[in-house]
Structure 1
Amino acid sequence: MPTAESNDRQDRSKIFIQIKILLAARLAIISFFMGTVVFYGVKYNYSGGVIPAMEPIGAAYLLTIFYALLFKFIPNPLRFAYLQLTVDLFLVTWIIYYTGGLNSPFSFLYILIIIAAAYFRSVYAPYLLATASSLLYSGLLVLEYLGVFEPYYAFPPLSDPGNLYYVFLTGVIHITIFYFIAFLSGHFTQLLSKSDKRLIQKSQDFTMLQAFHENVLANMGLGFLAIDLDGIILSHNLASERILRLRHEDIVRKPAVRILGLPRLAVFFKSIEKITTPFGQFDWAYTSPGRDKIQISMNVSKFVASGSTHGVIAVFQDVTNLKKLERQVADSERMAAIGRVSAAIAHEIRNPLASLSGSIQMLSSDLAPILDSESAKLMDIIMRETKRLNNIINKFLGYASPPALNTTQTNISLLLSETLTLLKSTPEYADKINFESDFSTDLSACVDQELIRQVIWNLCVNAIDAIDGEGSICVKAYTDEIAAYTIDARAGLFADDNRFTDCVCVKVSDTGKGIEKQDMNKIFEPFYTTKSYGTGLGLPTVHKIVKIHGGKIEVRSDPGKTTTFSVWLPIQRISASDAQAGATGRGF
């Protein structure tokens, strides 16, 4: 909003401009009437009042030059303007005296001065100048009637200044006209002032509304396009450039169908007059100039003004992450349902399997004396496979129904050191694997010690299994932070980018064969494995344990070179609701 100081500067500047116009108008009027006097005297050989009339005209020129010189040194321009008008009254009286007095045709110059007073937006100044004009003109007529002086005649006189009735009537008529002009000038000045105030207010409101509109469009996270009926983009905001990966000049005045890569939009424009719904919904995969696939959802509504449609307003957003999140939630819920069904089946298999295992053991003991070597070998295979099947069921049930957390402040550095020491002492690993570590001795987090030990062990063994022949494994740990979790009633556990949690980050890297791109999205699914052995429950169990701790796990792989698993574990204890949300298979 404009300040009082800025308004004062604007008013002063406006008055200075008006004074310049007054100066120019004075010169123009004086020059015109001087030319008239001279022309009349020369043409009709009437030089009686021509020379004297030159005096006030010359004075007017000198005053105008003097005013112009003082122009830059005037502290109060409005008073300066009224001073000029006051002096002009005396100057006009002088001109009337030298051009015939009662018979002078220039008495209307008083009217111009009265109107000029209204030009400076004063309601009362025209009345003051009308009063001064009435006094000066009446005084001039009375003095002429009394014979105190005889005016100069620039033109032949038409009336007798000694006729009292005519002199009185002339004075009354002029005074009435002066005040009538003052009334009209003041009235129109009031109307103009009110109109100006309303116009200024509306201009300020429009400026504020325009600024609000521009700021809303510039700062809104949604893309905005204003499109005419020909499908040409007239306006857009910065979010549009960001979402579409385009520059300003690539969007403005370009066809919307081509820019958005949406041929269906052309059909909308063709039938826009027939559409009765508030808006149209468009969802499509947009391909950016960099060949990125972006999922976009857009609402298109008609822009209606004065009852007619002038174009459309399109508001859109990048829903790529939202679509990805929806798929993740659907996959998590599907896997949770599969897990519940599988757990029920596993329970049903476990009971008869236990009976079968016990019966075979008893049968093996009873028949041992009479079994030949081949039969004894077959019996051993049955016992071993039964035991392996029971082990698989136990692992799966442990995955499907994770235990309640028993969290304590645990030295993560110590867990890492113990695990590496155990692995280095294993003969089958010691000869072919070079173990490296990089972590301090004081890293701690509030976790379930045994479950996190299982996570570290599984990740390290998984890394060793990925190495054919010789290779190296590097275990790093440090403090870091990740987005804190919040609970959503419908979708479960999600990251909140506005809050962060201090964590211990553990990275396990290997120089093995890596993970192929097509396998990256499946490695945490139960029973999925690329090995010729194993149950496919190692990484899913790791993933589950990390989640119930409110943590995060990521994997990056360069096939044929290296793979790195990164695990973030919150340093502080997580809430029971967060742990429950993670345990149900939702979230990360």
Structure 2
Amino acid sequence: MEHRPGPSLSLRKKLEYLMVIRVLMVTLLLGSAIIVNINDVDSFADPSYLAIATLIIATYVATIIYAVLVPRLQSLVSLTYVQLIGDVALSAGLIILTGGSKSIFSFLLYLTIINAAIVLGQSGAFIIATLSCLVLVGILLQGLGFWGIATGELGLPKHIAPATIYNPVVHIFACYLVSFLAGHLAWRLEEQGTELERRKLDIAELQALTHNILSSISEGVLTLDNKRRILFLNHGGERLLQRVSDEIYGLEVRGCLPELAGAVEELTDEASRRSEWSGWIQRPLDEEVRYLSVSHSQLYNVEDKPYGHIFILKDLTEVHSMEQRMRRQERLAAVGQLAAGIAHEIRNPLASISGSIEMLQAVSQVDEDEQRLMTIVIREVERLNSLIENFLDYSKPSRRDPAQVVIFEVVRETTELFGRDTALVGDIQLDADIEAARACVVMGDSEALRQVFWNLLRNAAQAIEAGEGRIEVRAETFRGVRLRDRSWERLADQGGEHNALRLTVSDTGKGIPGELLEQIFEPFFTTKSKGTGLGLATINRIIEDHDGFIGVTSEVGEGSLFEVVLPFERDPRLTEGASGAGSAASIHVDTVDVVAPAVEVSEQLVSWK
């Protein structure tokens, strides 16, 4: 007969179940025998009762021996057959002791066959069924008197009851029928178990594949249930939001991701019916502000019912900066065309007006009021002419051939010269430490770079109210890479050469409101009552021409910090002769006691460290 294995459980585990079932059965038999004869003490001395008790005790002992051998044997098939044969022997003994073919314990043979089918499959069930049938044949022969067990004589009885033959024969056919059905069911159970395990494996692999796909997506993927509790956050979302998925699993988004709470509420609000949101968020660890785009989709379960929400998080900080820069460039192009068209049309009349007024002042006899009015006209003409000059400088900056610029000297001289301008500096403390820039050489225009740092220092001084505060100039170098939005990203040093110079000018002034930070580099935008709005725009253009980047951070009431990042090359020769007062890189200008004119500064006002 074809061997059909049993269920997918291991044979060792099946034997453990078999031993438990055996102990429960014999315990039930022993307990029922004691309960039935509890009121008849003399029955405990009956040989049949003693024989049954002996069988049960022997079964206990055998089961203990089996339990000791199971964990120690490598091959358990032989031990399995030994146990099943022992169960058949136990069943045969009980049947013989309790009436033979009329015994109520014949069902124990069926139970043993079923156990064989479960443990060994259909082939094992057939073998145990055959052994059970031999037991039944022996019981039949006993009933017919062949064994002469009672009288010691061999022969057939004269009168044979039909039940004596009918019951064993029925049990024999039933044993084989049970073995076939139990074996077939065990085989089907094995197939179903194998198929279930395969499907579980397929589902696990599909879940792992889905998880790996979602985790590998560069954009952030965030899923919430209907109560806005976090179900999943992929690696891209962890990097973007600076969170660990396992630490926030099951928490409400408002409590663990407050920077996204507003976006989530807006997108999941049924009244709004929006599918996308974009805006600025501040990350918790580095406190960096990033521009995010969040798209929303409904999450459904297997019954196609709403189960939660899916959010795709995209970091569009660079793209947003590029768009802002492109819009700025478009406005610049329009400004350049406008400048070329109107510059001469405005400057020529201004020159005529100024010349005419000067002639009138020279040849005419004018009183004091008329002289004052003419002076006003000339001053305003000069102011308009200066505005046009700034406008032209911004729209069409000078294009000089790039040359090596020792940026350390440019910043040092500009800072020193600025410190001597008492009209601008007043009581402001100016502190500069630019030693890190000593050996840095930048390819560009030295005069344009002087204009950059002069304007930054002047703006810092003008931002300090009451003329009392502090301006700091600092320099540092780092290893970085330039991004698409022209900004620079720091890289791990790892022994690499530094290639970017960062110069900062910070003040303790009134600061710039956050809503104005994106506009301060645009042309004609100013917060000053008499400003032209071209200073920072011109600075931005100059820095871009030098392949650099300029940025600003500010807090109202605390002050502002402007940073300029420029690519550079290191010239070791510039570090030679660095000692001495005339080549120091740190200056401190104390203008509290300034009494000299702007062109004469006491040696006590500038101290070199």
Please, which of 179, 188, 196 is the counterpart of residue 182 of structure 1? Answer: 179
* Change in 2 beyond 3 A, CA 1:484/1:22: farther
* Change in 2 beyond 3 A, CA 1:397/1:202: same
1:51 matched to 2:50? The reply is no
Give 1:115's aligned residue: 114
Instruction: Kindly state the Cα deviation for residue 537 of structure 1 after the two structures are TM-superposed.
Output: 1.7
Distance 2:267 2:445 in 1: 58
Q: Is the 8 A contact 1:471 1:511 kept in 2?
A: yes
Give 2:521's aligned residue: 524
1:122 aligned counterpart, secondary structure: helix
Give 2:60's aligned residue: 64
Distance 1:112 1:421 in 2: 105
1:527 aligned counterpart, secondary structure: coil
Give 1:420's aligned residue: 415
The correspondence of residues 281-430 of structure 1 with structure 2, limited to 5 A, is 281=275, 299-301=296-298, 303=300, 310-311=305-306, 313-316=308-311, 332-353=325-346, 355-356=348-349, 370-372=363-365, 388-402=383-397, 410-424=405-419
Task: Report Cα offsets for 1:215-242 as digits up to 9, x if no partner.
Answer: 8889983443333xxxx55874469997
| Segment of structure 1 superposing worse, 497-506 or 180-189 | 497-506
Distance 2:277 2:528 in 1: 41
Distance 1:17 1:556 in 2: 73
* Change in 2 beyond 3 A, CA 1:324/1:367: same
Gaps of 5+ in 2: 1-6, 255-260, 493-497, 571-609
1:528 aligned counterpart, secondary structure: coil
| Segment of structure 1 superposing worse, 555-564 or 212-221 | 212-221
Q: Is the 8 A contact 1:217 1:237 kept in 2?
A: no
Q: Is the 8 A contact 2:487 2:549 kept in 1?
A: no
2:121 aligned counterpart, secondary structure: coil
For 1:339, the aligned partner's letter is L
Distance 1:108 1:17 in 2: 19
* Change in 2 beyond 3 A, CA 1:381/1:167: closer
Gaps of 5+ in 1: 1-6, 153-158, 269-278, 487-492, 574-588
Please, which of 449, 473, 476 is the counterpart of residue 474 of structure 2? Answer: 476
Task: Report Cα offsets for 1:525-559 as digits up to 9, x if no partner.
Answer: 32334446553322111122233444333334456
Distance 1:432 1:262 in 2: 50
For 1:58, the aligned partner's letter is T
Distance 1:433 1:16 in 2: 89
Instruction: Kindly state the Cα deviation for residue 353 of structure 1 after the two structures are TM-superposed.
Output: 4.5
The correspondence of residues 105-254 of structure 1 with structure 2, limited to 5 A, is 106-139=105-138, 141-142=140-141, 147-150=146-149, 160=157, 173-207=170-204, 221-227=220-226, 236-237=231-232, 248=250, 250=252
Instruction: Kindly state the Cα deviation for residue 417 of structure 1 after the two structures are TM-superposed.
Output: 1.7
* Change in 2 beyond 3 A, CA 1:312/1:494: farther
For 1:83, the aligned partner's letter is V
Distance 2:252 2:242 in 1: 13
Task: Report Cα offsets for 1:52-109 as digits up to 9, x if no partner.
Answer: 4641442232322442365245324665443222122233333444445566564453
Distance 2:128 2:158 in 1: 25
Between the aligned residues of both structures, percent identity stands at 25
For 1:63, the aligned partner's letter is T
Distance 1:368 1:383 in 2: 11
Distance 1:365 1:99 in 2: 144
Query: What is the Cα-based RMSD across aligned positions, in Å?
Result: 5.4
Instruction: Kindly state the Cα deviation for residue 194 of structure 1 after the two structures are TM-superposed.
Output: 1.0
Task: Report Cα offsets for 1:224-262 as digits up to 9, x if no partner.
Answer: 3333xxxx5587446999799x9956569xxxx999655
Give 1:27's aligned residue: 27
Distance 2:302 2:9 in 1: 38
Query: How many positions carry a matched residue from both structures?
Result: 525
Instruction: Kindly state the Cα deviation for residue 19 of structure 1 after the two structures are TM-superposed.
Output: 1.9
For 1:86, the aligned partner's letter is I
* Change in 2 beyond 3 A, CA 1:57/1:387: same
| Segment of structure 1 superposing worse, 560-569 or 405-414 | 405-414
Instruction: Kindly state the Cα deviation for residue 313 of structure 1 after the two structures are TM-superposed.
Output: 3.6
Instruction: Kindly state the Cα deviation for residue 448 of structure 1 after the two structures are TM-superposed.
Output: 1.6
Q: Is the 8 A contact 1:145 1:161 kept in 2?
A: no
